[in-house]
């Protein structure tokens, strides 16, 4: 499957962090994601931590299939249940809190792998947005803007500049 191969390449290369599936309405993008790609990623739990698929609708963060609900399901699957309400409160703290929640999920997932021998690549969080065009609707625009800020901060963290002593 080319999609899975492409995502593996993103993880191994460590440079690109975004994979987009584009196609006309009705072309099978959702089926490809939910029935093909996502189950394969879930089976490779040594490499990937695929979070439950998000469906923005009108509330990409607080909706029933939004970010908070997806994170709550992920925490529950990893044996550290967090109610969606607590996750929503944490997310109200901004992009840093979003990053902390993802880091915490990654740490929980890695703990399951403690007994494994040898070097391996880091576990990669994979976040899918089904029907992402809903993020551009005027309904829910405020949450969509916040969500884009979360993604931007997580995917493109600010660079820390090291002071070079030779410039004195």
Q: How far apart are CA 13 and CA 36, in angstroms?
A: 23
Q: Is the pLDDT reported for residue 147 higher than 70?
A: yes
Q: Is the pLDDT reported for residue 2 higher than 60?
A: yes
Residues found in the chain: 168
Closest CA to 128 of 7, 15, 26: 7
Q: How far apart are CA 68 and CA 59, in angstroms?
A: 10
Torsion of CA 97, 102, 103, 106, to 10 degrees: 160
Close Cβ partners of 131 (under 8 Å, ≥ 6 residues apart):
30, 55, 56, 57
Torsion of CA 48, 49, 55, 59, to 10 degrees: -140
Q: How far apart are CA 63 and CA 54, in angstroms?
A: 9
Extents of the domains making up the chain: 2-155
User: Is the pTM value of this prediction over 0.75?
Assistant: yes
Instruction: List, for residues 86-124, the tens digit of each pLDDT value.
Output: 999 999 999 999 999 999 998 888 887 765 554 555 678
41 and 49 Cβ atoms separated by less than 8 Å? no
């Amino acid at each position: 499957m080319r999609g899975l191969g492409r995502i593996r390449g993103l993880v191994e290369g460590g440079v690109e962090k975004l994979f987009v599936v584009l196609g006309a309405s009705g072309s099978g993008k959702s089926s490809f994601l939910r029935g093909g790609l996502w189950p394969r990623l879930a089976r490779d739990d040594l490499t990937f931590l695929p979070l439950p698929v998000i469906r923005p609708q009108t509330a990409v963060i607080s909706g029933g299939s939004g970010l908070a609900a997806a994170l709550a399901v992920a925490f529950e699957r990893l044996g550290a249940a967090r109610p969606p309400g607590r996750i929503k409160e944490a997310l109200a703290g901004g992009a840093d809190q979003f990053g902390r929640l993802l880091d915490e999920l990654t740490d929980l997932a890695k703990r399951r792998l403690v007994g494994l021998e040898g070097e391996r690549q880091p576990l990669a969080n994979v976040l899918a947005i089904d029907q992402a065009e809903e993020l551009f609707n005027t309904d829910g625009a405020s949450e969509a803007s916040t969500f884009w800020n979360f993604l931007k901060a997580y995917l493109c963290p600010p660079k820390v500049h090291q002071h070079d002593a030779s410039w004195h």
